[in-house]
Amino acid sequence: MLQRIKTDTLNWIFVIVIVLFLLEIFLFNGWLIFSMLFSGFFMFLGWKNFTQTWGKVFFFIGSISLFFNIINTMAVRFLIIAAVILFIRHYQRAKKEPDHLTPSFEQDDEAEIVVNQEPMIQTKPLLNNRLFGDQSTEQTAYKWNDISIHGAFGDRIIDLTNTVLPNQAVVSIRHLIGNIVIYVPYEVEIMITHSSVFGRANILDEHHEKLLNETLSYHTVNYHNHEPKVKIVTSIFSGDIEVRRI
């Protein structure tokens, strides 16, 4: 079904959902954002202590509260109505224009075969996107692949000392709440761009005790001249970042 929906249609739906959500927060229900943040805090606190009974209780209370906060918004109601309308339209179109399956036959040996597709090799990422929980690279030696992940709650630990880096490596992390720690070997040059709404930063002994909707950018003296080097791009809503050599 989604394959038949135009990208512009989906974009308009997302824009309307965002506008409705903002209108509800600023005009009709100003306490909604605080209720959602409170529920999210309960979930985060419960997940960090999930091995204990009270941690499980906190997590499920926060999950249920957040679910009902979201489901009762105008934006979600509009999204449900839009999904129903799109489903009906898709059903009607499928009835009028059913998919036709055409059998394929092997070509004659004398037939000319033209292959335009360029072969591609799929690689397995080091880390996958994870909304909840801590995540780190392997403690033993591992093969390097560039990292590009996003998440919601938990810490992210990237240890670059257990792998052989290429001449140019990339680490990209987009996160909501939690801490980011990156360990870098001494012989590797670094460029880092870090954005944070709330938090602190310690980047190779450059300390920032209070970040408030700020962006930091650093690079080592020989970054543009020496290799191997790693480009680090991180963004976080609330949390600390530490980059240090070991």
Q: What are the tens digits of pLDDT across the range 95-106?
A: 676 555 555 555
188 and 236, same domain (yes or no): yes
Q: Return the higher-pLDDT residue of 148 and 2.
A: 148
Mean pLDDT throughout 169-173?
Answer: 94
Nearest to 188 by CA among 226, 139, 141: 226
What span, in angstroms and rounded, lies between the C-alpha atoms of 66 and 154? 18
Task: Please report whether residue 113 resides in a domain.
Answer: no
Q: Is residue 15 part of a domain?
A: yes
Of the residues 69, 96, 123, the one at which a domain ends: 96
Please report, rounded to a whole number, the percentage of residues in the chain having pLDDT higher than 90. Answer: 27
Angle between helices 7-23 and 74-96 (to 10 degrees): 160
Question: Residue 229: pLDDT band by 50, 70, 90 thresholds?
Answer: very high
Which of 34, 65, 96 terminates a domain? The answer is 96
Is residue 228's pLDDT more than 90?
yes
20: tokens are 């409705």
**Residue with structure tokens 């700020």?**
214
Cβ-contact 109, 131 below 8 angstroms = no
Maximum CA pair distance of the chain?
73
Number of domains in the chain: 2
pLDDT band at 170, cuts 50/70/90? Answer: very high
**What single-letter DSSP state applies at residue 117?**
P
Q: Which residues contact 152 (CB under 8 A, 6 or more apart)?
A: 131, 132, 175, 176, 177
Contact present, 47 and 154 (Cβ < 8 Å): yes
pLDDT for 202: 93
Residues 92 and 143 in one domain: no
pLDDT tens profile 88-143? 877 777 667 655 555 555 555 554 555 556 777 777 788 887 777 778 888 888 88
Confidence bin at 50 (pLDDT 50/70/90): confident
- The amino acid present at 219, given as its one-letter code, is H
| 79, 96, 113 - which closes a domain | 96
Query: Do 81 and 161 belong together in one domain?
Result: no
**Structural element, H or E, at residue 11:** helix 7-23
Question: Given this model, what pLDDT does residue 97 score?
Answer: 64
Q: What is d(CA 92, CA 87) in angstroms, rounded to the nearest whole number?
A: 9
Can you read off the two tokens belonging to residue 45?
Answer: 């606190």
pLDDT of 40 higher than 80: yes
Name the residue range of residue 39's domain: 2-96
Q: Is residue 114 part of a domain?
A: no
Whether residue 167 sits in one domain with residue 71: no
Token pair of 26, please?
Answer: 């600023």
pLDDT of residue 44: 85
Residue 158 · residue 234 · CB < 8 Å: no
